[in-house]
A and B are shown apart, each in its own frame.
Chain A
């Protein structure tokens, strides 16, 4: 401490000025990357078979935008079902009741063990298995009943398949998060008089989120693209809309590019969302909060400014 104070009194010690080590390897690598990048961009931009004008024409086409809406809806609803189901299954999995935990295990085993495409088609054809559906108390009265074909249309089938499948994956992610929280946290919560449920909700899950969020972001991005599988049961998602258009005008490549652009836009938005979620749930774990890009920019400019000022003072 005293050493620091001394230098404060006398002004800063002289900073080291040395000739930096040269890195010719880095310059060569950078040059190669640059050349390859330019070559790729040039080829993509000048090859007329990409038909960029067609891409531009269809980018904001009503049918494409409608498909985009369906894709986003499918992603959000399926992920919501997946997350809720995942928390439930994870808590069940960690339950002391062996029947409850094995039920969860069996669910995860089944839904992770079969391809999601099969599950989508399966739900689509559920009416072959159960022509009539009654929702209510088992062996008791039913509150909703009707024809399976009218109750489960393709969109519902898609939601069911994607959501139930996602639940199995989310369960493992949430379980990993819960396990990552030290047992001492539960001890402390219990000793303060919190019940198991309160401890889970107020103490364990909020801290598990730090571990849960990054893979969940991954799952959401994966889900966005997995929704394209529903085109097999004629749900009009983004890919299905593109397919419907190129089935008529045979502009296959440009329309696939159009769809890809929208997928990229959506994943980019998700990246930003994930960044801020991670930042929120990371509070208290890092000594200093992670900066937002805006703050980082401000700080960078500020430091430049200060350094400039300092140099002028000397």
Chain B
């Protein structure tokens, strides 16, 4: 159990010549909530996408739950994982996107049940029962038969969270989950996320919501230009940042 959920050591990522991540070292213990802060273009979202192998890393080591992401070690040689193996690992990691990315041709309930049915081969009945429970938990019991186009931004994002939870993930990744929302809808999504944190879900959250970070995070990391500038408990980092750059950023965001 001492094994951290996410362990990043010297993670590098390039897009062509553009070096987006330049040596990320981060550890997320089980049950912790890590908030990633930083200006846009600092590599927060890219790092998040690397954790479930939506992006391949170029150098360094990245592991989830003690297993390398996207590779396996045979002897002392790295072997790329086959597509099915990558998919199986992704199924254990939930991800929530800035623009929700709900499946437009499916109702809220179908969005939540599709992965358990197609990926985990659960029975349709079982998946629907659990899907209803999950939608109820995020406060959308009356919206199960609505299509995404009939929902508000906040409702869409809550369906997206329920969809990710339906796979019973051991880790949840949030990529700016409230950035595309009207200010008055941010609260309902953050409330659901707070609930998850309370229940002990391990989470990595890219966000600009300093209030959420202060309240729910176990650790906060400030990133800029592909490196972690500083990391620490929210009370420390947010109130007494050690680096000039962090101070400057926080003064603009707060």
Mark A residues whose CB is within 8 Å of B. 182, 184-185, 187-196, 198, 202-203, 206-207, 281, 283-287
B104 in complex: contacting residue of A190, A202, A284, CB < 8 Å: A284
If the complex has contacts A184-B99, A191-B90, A192-B167, are A287 and B150 also in contact, measured as CB distance less than 8 A?
yes
Let me know if B150 and A190 touch, CB within 8 A.
no
Residues of A within 8 A of B147 (CB): 283-284
Chain A contact surface mostly: helix
Residues of A within 8 A of B107 (CB): 284
A9 and B106 CA atoms in complex are apart in Å by 39
If the complex has contacts A191-B54, A198-B118, are A286 and B87 also in contact, measured as CB distance less than 8 A?
no
Let me know if A193 and B167 touch, CB within 8 A.
yes
Let me know if A193 and B88 touch, CB within 8 A.
yes
Let me know if B97 and A192 touch, CB within 8 A.
no
Contact with A along B148-188 (1 / 0, CB 8 A): 11100000000010011001000001000000000000000
**Closest chain B residue, CB of each to CB of A182:** B101
Contact with A along B126-166 (1 / 0, CB 8 A): 00000000000000000000011110000000001001100
Residues of A within 8 A of B84 (CB): 195
If the complex has contacts A192-B167, A193-B91, A285-B149, are A187 and B119 also in contact, measured as CB distance less than 8 A?
no
Let me know if B103 and A196 touch, CB within 8 A.
no
Let me know if B83 and A284 touch, CB within 8 A.
no
- Starting from the known contacts A184-B101, A192-B90, 7 additional A-B residue pairs (CB-CB under 8 Å) come to A190-B54, A192-B91, A193-B87, A193-B115, A195-B84, A207-B104, A287-B150
Residues of B within 8 A of A187 (CB): 54, 95, 97, 101
Q: What is the count of residue pairs linking A and B with beta-carbon distances less than 8 angstroms?
A: 80
The verdict on B218 contacting chain A, using a C-beta distance below 8 Å, is: no
Residues of B within 8 A of A189 (CB): 103
A283 and B105 CA atoms in complex are apart in Å by 6
Residues of A within 8 A of B103 (CB): 185, 188-189, 203, 207
Residues of B within 8 A of A284 (CB): 104-107, 147-149
Report the minimum CB–CB distance from A191 to chain B (whole Å): 4
List the 6 closest pairs (A to B, CB-CB), nearest first.
Answer: A193-B91, A284-B147, A188-B101, A192-B115, A191-B95, A184-B101
Residues of A within 8 A of B105 (CB): 206-207, 281, 283-285
Residues of B within 8 A of A185 (CB): 101, 103-104
Contact with A along B10-28 (1 / 0, CB 8 A): 0000000000000000000
Report the minimum CB–CB distance from B66 to chain A (whole Å): 19
The verdict on B62 contacting chain A, using a C-beta distance below 8 Å, is: no
Residues of B within 8 A of A206 (CB): 105
Residues of A within 8 A of B93 (CB): 191
Let me know if B83 and A196 touch, CB within 8 A.
yes
Contact with A along B101-123 (1 / 0, CB 8 A): 11111110000001100111000
Q: List 14 A-B contacts (CB under 8 A).
A: A184-B101, A185-B101, A185-B104, A188-B95, A188-B160, A190-B90, A191-B94, A191-B173, A192-B164, A193-B90, A193-B91, A202-B118, A207-B104, A284-B106
Let me know if B118 and A194 touch, CB within 8 A.
yes
Name B59-100 residues within 8 Å CB distance of A.
83-84, 87-88, 90-95, 97, 99
The verdict on B52 contacting chain A, using a C-beta distance below 8 Å, is: yes
A185 and B97 CA atoms in complex are apart in Å by 10
Residues of A within 8 A of B104 (CB): 185, 207, 284-285
Let me know if A195 and B87 touch, CB within 8 A.
yes
Residues of A within 8 A of B87 (CB): 190, 193-195
Report the minimum CB–CB distance from B91 to chain A (whole Å): 3
Residues of A within 8 A of B120 (CB): 193
Let me know if B97 and A188 touch, CB within 8 A.
yes
Report the minimum CB–CB distance from B101 to chain A (whole Å): 4
**Closest chain B residue, CB of each to CB of A209:** B105
Residues of B within 8 A of A193 (CB): 87-88, 90-92, 115, 119-120, 167
